């Protein structure tokens, strides 16, 4: 059974803090192993990647087979049913349209002293997207990572997607086609992250790596950060539902389970001002678990990490939600927009009873790669800007340098940086000569 908390009861604050402090990530100590893998890939390139692919994925490769050929991708894509293809195409269209609106604009202006200032946005040259393989191989993740990169203008876009035992998900390769991916490598794990970051004889290094993965992938992304950019370190999935007693408890139960079925470490929380409704949701979860194919995973998540929280009112619900800073926040109330305005920390917000979080996973349009583990307090979901960088621009006229140069010279002297000040003074002397 999940935790049942009531904000009006003694001990609530301590229990709620305990919920916030739960350690749900896997406690595997993998950093030393990952460090060795990265060092091996840097030293031996293709040979190291091929050996580890054989060991971990039971797949024998040669350098010329590290990537899928265009013919292989086309053949796998042809296996996809027309119905699945249509759904994937709709998702791609909506994701692309949403992210097109995120493209930033360059700016330039002349200020009061005559200095021209501004910035310009340019894409990274190459990005590598990690797509988990095996049972966690999701074509939706391909679209969510690749489409923003293409919208940003990334010139070279590659995917690393392991195929354990040689098993391929045709939808993943079709999604790569639809998103405009250039190369799909059939490699995974920390060795794939190392190959993308440092390059091998066959794998060309990239500038940024995005996408979720297991503990080894996460540790590798941490280690290569600085050599390349990364999006975030993704933790277990989470959803928080704020719902009033007039909502359908079965719908709420299904929304909770839609995240719980991801992983036993996932977290599903419902906050409600109606205690009877909270109990009804818990009962509905138990009933739905009886028929859910991924029952074992979802049941473990619900029992270990789930919670039903009863609050005094919706304002308190919003305040508690902000402390949780959930990856996904559903607001099922009569006026969800009003409550959403008070919810300042969330990766994504879903408004109203007819907006289940699962829509956001696939076809809503906004990105489903979102901050977890309370990091929505300070970060955002994956977007076009993650594949771009802003370069500032400045141009001084002689008059502008006369106006502000002496202050720069003074500050340089205060910091003991003589050459800084002299670089300004030399120009001022020329102008005043």
DSSP letter at 102 equals T
- Which position has the token pair 């305040």? 319
- Confirm if 77 and 362 have CB atoms less than 8 A apart: no
C-alpha distances (whole Å) from 295 to each of 67, 258, 260, 357, 378 are 36, 11, 9, 19, 34
Q: Can you give the pLDDT at residue 23?
A: 74
DSSP of 332-395, one letter per residue? ESSSHHHHHTT----SEEEESTT--HHHHHHTSSS------TTGGGT-----GGGGEEEEEEEE
- Confirm if 7 and 316 have CB atoms less than 8 A apart: yes
Report d(CA 69, CA 145) in Å as an integer.
Answer: 21
Q: Which residue of the set 76, 261, 327, 330 is catalytic?
A: 327
What b/e string do you get for 234-258 counting C-beta neighbours within 10 Å, with b at 16 or more? bbbbbbbbbbbeebebebbbbbbbb
Q: Which residue of the set 76, 238, 262, 328 is catalytic?
A: 328
DSSP letter at 329 equals E
C-alpha distances (whole Å) from 4 to each of 257, 302, 310, 311 are 17, 12, 8, 11
Residue 116 in 3-state DSSP?
A: strand
pLDDT averaged over every residue in the chain? 96
Q: What are the pLDDT digits (tens) for 250-278?
A: 999 999 999 999 999 999 999 999 999 99
Q: Does residue 382 carry a pLDDT above 80?
A: yes
327 is a catalytic site residue:
yes
The domain made up of 31-105+123-230 has a fold known as: Rossmann fold (3.40.50)
Report d(CA 103, CA 279) in Å as an integer.
Answer: 45
Report d(CA 312, CA 242) in Å as an integer.
Answer: 13
Q: Does residue 134 carry a pLDDT above 60?
A: yes
DSSP of 165-234, one letter per residue? GG---HHHHHHHHHHT-SEEE---HHHHHHHHHH--SSSPP-SEEE----HHHHHHHHHHBTTBEE----
- Cα dihedral: 324, 325, 330, 333 (round 10): 70
- In the chain, domain spans: 3-24+235-364, 31-105+123-230, 396-432
Q: Can you give the pLDDT at residue 26?
A: 58
Q: Does residue 135 carry a pLDDT above 60?
A: no
- Confirm if 144 and 176 have CB atoms less than 8 A apart: no
Domains 3-24+235-364 and 31-105+123-230 share a fold: yes
Report d(CA 209, CA 292) in Å as an integer.
Answer: 34
β-strands 126-130, 208-210 pairing: parallel
Q: What are the pLDDT digits (tens) for 336-363?
A: 999 999 999 999 999 999 999 999 999 9
Report d(CA 128, CA 133) in Å as an integer.
Answer: 15
| Size of the chain, expressed as the number of residues it contains | 433
The domain made up of 3-24+235-364 has a fold known as: Rossmann fold (3.40.50)
- Confirm if 238 and 326 have CB atoms less than 8 A apart: yes
13 is a catalytic site residue:
no
Residue 416 phi/psi, 5-degree rounding, is: 70, 25
Q: Does residue 180 carry a pLDDT above 80?
A: yes
Per residue, the 3-state secondary structure of 211-224, as one string, reads CCCCHHHHHHHHHH
Question: 387: which residues sit within 8 A by CB, 6+ positions away?
Answer: 123, 124, 127, 148, 149, 152, 153, 154, 208
**Smallest Cα–Cα separation from 64: which of 164, 201, 157, 205?**
201
Q: Does residue 1 carry a pLDDT above 90?
A: no
**Smallest Cα–Cα separation from 48: which of 248, 276, 200, 261?**
200
- Confirm if 206 and 158 have CB atoms less than 8 A apart: yes
Q: Can you give the pLDDT at residue 25?
A: 65
Q: Does residue 403 carry a pLDDT above 90?
A: yes
Q: Does residue 88 carry a pLDDT above 90?
A: yes
Report d(CA 245, CA 277) in Å as an integer.
Answer: 5
Sequence-ordered alpha helix ranges (H) in 101-138 = none
Q: Average pLDDT in the 218-225 region?
A: 96
Q: How far apart are the first and last CA of the chain?
A: 83
Q: Does residue 28 carry a pLDDT above 70?
A: no
Confidence label for 78 from pLDDT (cuts 50, 70 and 90): very high
Q: Can you give the pLDDT at residue 321?
A: 98
**Smallest Cα–Cα separation from 131: which of 97, 79, 56, 181?**
181
Confidence label for 22 from pLDDT (cuts 50, 70 and 90): confident
**Smallest Cα–Cα separation from 160: which of 141, 282, 178?**
141
């Amino acid at each position: 059974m999940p935790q049942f908390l009531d904000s009006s009861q003694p001990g609530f604050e301590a229990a709620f803090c305990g919920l916030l402090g739960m350690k749900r990530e896997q406690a595997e100590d993998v950093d030393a192993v990952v460090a060795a893998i990265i060092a091996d890939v840097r030293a031996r390139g293709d040979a190291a990647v091929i050996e580890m692919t054989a060991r971990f994925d039971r797949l024998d490769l040669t350098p010329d087979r590290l990537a899928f050929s265009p013919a292989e991708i086309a053949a796998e894509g042809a296996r996809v049913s027309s119905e699945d293809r249509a759904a994937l195409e709709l998702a791609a269209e909506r994701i692309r349209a949403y992210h097109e609106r995120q493209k930033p604009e360059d700016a330039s202006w002349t200020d009061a002293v005559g200095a021209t200032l501004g910035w310009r946005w340019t894409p990274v040259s190459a990005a590598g997207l990690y797509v988990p393989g095996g049972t966690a191989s999701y074509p939706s993740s391909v679209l969510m990572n690749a489409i923003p990169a293409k919208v940003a203008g990334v010139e070279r876009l590659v995917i690393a997607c392991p195929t354990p035992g040689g098993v391929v998900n045709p939808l993943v390769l079709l999604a790569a086609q639809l998103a405009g991916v250039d190369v799909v490598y059939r490699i995974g794990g920390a060795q794939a992250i190392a190959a993308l970051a440092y390059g091998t004889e066959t794998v060309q290094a990239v500038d940024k790596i995005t996408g979720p993965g297991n503990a080894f992938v996460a540790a590798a992304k941490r280690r290569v950060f600085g050599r390349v950019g990364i999006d975030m370190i993704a933790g277990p999935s989470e959803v928080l539902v704020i719902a009033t007693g007039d909502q359908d408890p079965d719908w709420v139960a299904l929304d909770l389970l839609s995240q719980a079925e991801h992983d036993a470490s996932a977290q599903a929380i419902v906050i409600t001002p109606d205690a009877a409704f909270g109990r009804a949701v818990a009962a509905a979860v138990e009933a739905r678990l009886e028929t859910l194919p991924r029952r074992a995973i979802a049941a473990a998540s619900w029992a270990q990490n789930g919670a039903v929280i009863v609050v005094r009112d919706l304002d308190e619900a919003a305040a508690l939600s902000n402390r949780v800073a959930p990856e996904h926040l559903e607001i099922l109330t009569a006026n969800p927009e009003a409550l959403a305005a008070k919810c300042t920390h969330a990766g994504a917000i879903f408004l109203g009873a007819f907006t289940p979080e699962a829509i956001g996973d696939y076809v809503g349009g906004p990105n489903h790669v979102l901050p977890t583990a309370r990091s929505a307090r300070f970060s955002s979901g994956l977007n076009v800007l993650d594949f771009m960088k802003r370069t500032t621009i400045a141009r001084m006229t002689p008059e502008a340098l006369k106006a502000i140069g002496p202050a720069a010279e003074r500050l340089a002297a205060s910091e003991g940086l003589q050459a800084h000040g002299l670089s300004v003074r030399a120009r001022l002397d020329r102008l005043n000569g």
